A and B are shown apart, each in its own frame.
Chain A
Amino acid sequence: MVDTAVDTPITKLTAALAARRQAGEVVVAPFLTAGDPDLDFTFQALKVAQQAGATLCELGVPYSDPIADGPVIQASYTRALNAGGTLEGVFGLAARASEQLTMPLVAMTSYSIIFRRGIDRFVGEAAAVGLTGLIVPDLPIEESSLLAKACRQADVALVRLVTPTTPPERAARIAAESTGFLYCVSVAGVTGERVSLPQQLKDRVRWLKEQTDVPILVGFGISRPEQVREVGDVADGVIVGSALVRHLEATSGDQRQTALASIAQHVGELVAAGRAG
């Protein structure tokens, strides 16, 4: 890994990933919706996820029309927005979490939100609140030059996605442009748990490893320890979304503590599975 004296957002992310890999462990990256049911809960959830061994966390910025998301994350975004969720609030949460936690945070956000804020302004604010990278699931490589430039200037990672429908030549190009890590989408479809992962997934990841030096994390459909072991054989880590966001479906009153405990336990089991190998 590049040795840099200055601490930039992307070096924090890169260092966290490298440390975990050097320890021989599979990276576990939970996804949580910012502000479902409220920002303080999300902060507590990030905290227990870190304690349970998460390497980094993806913070989902709620969006009204998330076409890449299945019912679980859609419903979570709707709850967060109905609770009055704003971008201001998400940035505030990120600032608090980067101050009080050590684990790097990456924002998952629709390009609609970035565009409306203004590209440079959005990236500047993200860097200022300590976000180390951006994942923009509805921004293909052809449309990304302005955002990529802003991210480069702010030393913020721009994590790209490859999917099972991406042709090899294009996948190689995407892999080469991805910074921080590469997001390998396991299945063609929307987010949500899957009982089984595609046969060819391992071959795809092995091939992708040859196209890039950045770590490769596999996401979409991952929820169980045996999947972490399976994927961890070839990839650097996993991203777990819908399966964790499910724990946010009941969070009123004393269900809060139960939900936090479930998140901690779930992340813990996945992390443990990634150590055993």
Chain B
Amino acid sequence: MATSTAPHRSYSQVPDPLGRFGDYGGRYVPETLSAALDELEQAYTEAAADPAFQQELDDLLCRFVGRETPLLFADRLTEYAGGARIYFKREDLSHTGAHKINNTLGQGLLALRMGKRRIIAETGAGQHGVATATACARFGLECVVYMGAEDVRRQAPNVRNMRLMGAEVRPVESGSRTLRDAINDAMRDWMGSVETSHYIIGSVVGPHPFPKIVRDFQSVIGRETVAQCERDLGRMPDMVVACVGGGSNAAGMFYPFVDVEGVRLVGVEAGGRSAQAGSHAASLSHGQPGVLHGSLSYVLQNPDGQTSDVHSVSAGLDYPGVGPEHAYWHDAGRVDYTSVTDAEALDAFDLVARKEGILPALETSHALAWTVREAASMPPEAVVVVCLSGRGDKDAAEIARLRGFSEELTHG
């Protein structure tokens, strides 16, 4: 993992043709899937070079999703933190309430190009499931979503919404009954349906070319942010922060910034209850290189290579791996990765709800918690942008339960 320390190194020229981000990435899957991944790679390469494809996607992102999403100055939160100026990139205002839709529309269009009319997806928080169900409804595709049984419970509103849009939600009872098990079952489905189905993976994880494709579709977040900073602030931010589950909102936000000098990039992982194995989901902070779900990256596993149990209060971050491009940025020192605990994330949820009138997703609340803390130690002219990856309606009932609010909401 030797990295050069030359000052003007580029971090954006990855992956290579085998899907390598430095040492990470690649394609570790059963042979049954190889041909489909080759087909996907080719379809994507052709689509990326086809102006009509880009035009159609841009049009959907504008009229269907509501892009571009605003860059909002969070003035009361800034005042509270007492340091750098904090801005929110409002992905929560996207149709379906999170960044996930940027990817599902892109991949949905790819599925149409490949003539595949059945879509499989996994979901943790349910945001990717909802975004996939939405794309499928819009494009007239059949949709099957795998979701850990534990997540079905804690993200019930999203399960209902997927079903309302005609998707079939299959609860997964194996293993830890969370995101990792949902990915396993989605891949098993794909093993048997690969000739007629496309798997819309929900983050920058999985075998090549998924990490690249998802990163590219999500990069609209960072591209808009760069343009908005230039236009509205006349300068680049000093720091950009995003939460990291599989790492798609972070990759989409960071990628257009990685070759911009002087911008500090920070990914915030789920610190869970504690730094003890099994109590968190911070793969980059506490894991090591290993192979999971088709790619080589940082993973949480035991010395035998068995995947560890993980924990996070937020279903979307409750994953023992992370996208390979983050492993590359981590080792290269381009992005700093840190973590915040369940309790800190819950506090940040409350804070942002009351100071800014926004209920952020619990995933996003991790990035917010770290931002508020760090902004305090930065000068008032400094600018911090945090990716507000999603809205928190899906979490509101669970937070109320954890906070001991009664259903009839006695707190006025």
Where the two chains meet, the residues of A that have a C-beta atom closer than 8 Å to any C-beta of B are 63-70, 74, 78, 81, 86-87, 110-117, 137-140, 142-143, 160-167, 170, 174, 185, 187-190
Contact = CB atoms under 8 A, between A and B. Distances in A.
A113 B191 contact: no
A116 B184 contact: no
Contacts of B305: 63, 87, 110, 112-117
A242 B290 CA distance: 28
Contact of B306 (A64, A67, A160): A64
A65 B187 CA distance: 11
Interface string B184-198: 100110011011000
11 contacts: A65-B184, A78-B174, A114-B305, A115-B305, A116-B291, A137-B31, A138-B28, A142-B27, A163-B31, A164-B32, A166-B35
Contact of A67 (B31, B191, B194, B303): B191
A115 B188 contact: no
Contacts of B307: 64-65, 112
B180 interface: yes
A74 B32 contact: no
Nearest to A74: B174
A63 B306 contact: yes
Contact of A143 (B28, B36, B192, B306): B28
A188 B27 contact: no
A257 B311 CA distance: 41
Nearest to B309: A64
Given A138-B28, A140-B34, A188 B291 contact: no
A65 B184 CA distance: 7
Given A65-B307, A117-B304, 20 more contacts: A63-B305, A64-B306, A67-B184, A68-B32, A68-B188, A70-B188, A74-B174, A87-B305, A111-B291, A116-B291, A116-B305, A138-B29, A140-B28, A161-B30, A165-B31, A165-B33, A165-B35, A185-B32, A188-B32, A189-B32
B304 A116 contact: yes
A138 to B, nearest CB: 5
Q: Name, among A63, A162, A174, A188, the residue most crowded by chain B CB atoms within 10 Å (CB to CB).
A: A188
B304 A170 contact: no
B191 A190 contact: yes
A165 B195 contact: yes
Contact of A68 (B34, B191, B194, B303): B191
Nearest to A139: B28
Contacts of B28: 111-112, 138-140, 143
A111 B306 CA distance: 11
Nearest to B321: A65
Contacts of A170: 34-35
Q: Name, among B187, B291, B292, the residue most crowded by chain A CB atoms within 10 Å (CB to CB).
A: B291
Nearest to B308: A64
Contacts of B175: 64-65, 78
Contacts of B36: 165
B293 A165 contact: no
Nearest to A164: B32
Nearest to B19: A142
A55 B365 CA distance: 58
B18 A142 contact: yes
Given A67-B191, A112-B290, A188-B194, A86 B30 contact: no
A126 to B, nearest CB: 14
Contacts of A143: 26-28
A140 B31 contact: yes
Contacts of B121: none
A251 B260 CA distance: 62
